[in-house]
């Protein structure tokens, strides 16, 4: 059993929640944030969309976590073998754009991939890491609540990627003050 899931723990959460992080990540079923970070009930305010794409509902949810629940940390969680990133790459390279609302997801991921190409990236891991960095920056740019909290030093945003097979998280970006960090900020991954 994971932490904070017992009867007593649940009873403490009935009246209120006091998470320590807002986690915005991909909705991929293999990327369960509470398990990856070994967190229990009430410890993270979790928001998930395919490809961790940002829309008004995501922004409202993040603002609720930061502005109402007073959470000091936003974590953007991407991962390898992301279907949304793969679909966006396929659309860019082959013109194969999916139908329906999946197209909207692909269109929201595409700008990150174009910027990754501008930076000289060509490996899928680089594209996924760039999308995490871009998502972090987008949360800051589109939300006055988040921007004000970061500027005041009351909140920070960290972008991380998760390797499915290895079960490892790698820090990709930091916005705001989180102390000393070791960031992998985008040196291209070797294709060997």
Binding residues: 26, 28, 79, 82
Contacts made by residues 142-148, CB under 8 angstroms, sequence distance 24+: 142/54, 142/59, 143/59, 143/62, 143/63, 145/63, 145/66, 145/67, 146/62, 146/63, 146/66, 146/74
In eight-state DSSP terms, residue 153 is: T
Taking a C-beta distance cutoff of 8 angstroms, is the pair 80, 31 a contact?
no
d(CA 181, CA 192): 28
Tokens for 79? 């991962």
Taking phi over 0 as left and psi of -120 to 50 as alpha, with beta for the rest, 120 belongs to: left
Encode 126-158: b = buried (16+ Cβ within 10 Å), e = exposed. Answer: bbbbbbbbbbbbbbbeebebbeebbeeeebbbb
As annotated, the binding site for Zn(2+) includes 26, 28, 79, 82
């Amino acid at each position: 059993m994971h932490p904070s899931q017992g009867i007593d723990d649940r009873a403490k959460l009935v009246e209120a929640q006091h998470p320590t992080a807002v986690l915005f990540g991909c909705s991929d079923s293999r990327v369960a944030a509470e398990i990856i970070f070994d967190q229990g009930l009430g410890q993270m305010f979790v928001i998930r969309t395919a490809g961790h794409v940002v829309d008004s509902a995501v922004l409202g949810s993040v603002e609720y976590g930061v502005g109402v629940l007073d959470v000091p940390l936003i974590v953007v969680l991407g991962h390898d073998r992301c279907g949304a990133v793969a679909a966006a790459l396929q659309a860019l390279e082959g013109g194969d754009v999916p139908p329906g609302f999946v197209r909207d997801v692909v269109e929201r991921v595409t700008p990150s991939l174009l910027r990754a190409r501008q930076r000289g990236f060509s490996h899928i891991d680089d594209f996924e890491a760039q999308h995490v960095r871009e998502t972090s920056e987008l949360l800051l740019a589109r939300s006055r609540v988040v921007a004000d909290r970061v500027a005041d030093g009351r909140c920070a945003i960290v972008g991380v990627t998760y390797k499915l097979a290895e079960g490892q998280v790698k820090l990709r970006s930091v916005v705001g003050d989180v102390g000393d960090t070791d960031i992998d900020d985008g040196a291209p991954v070797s294709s060997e």
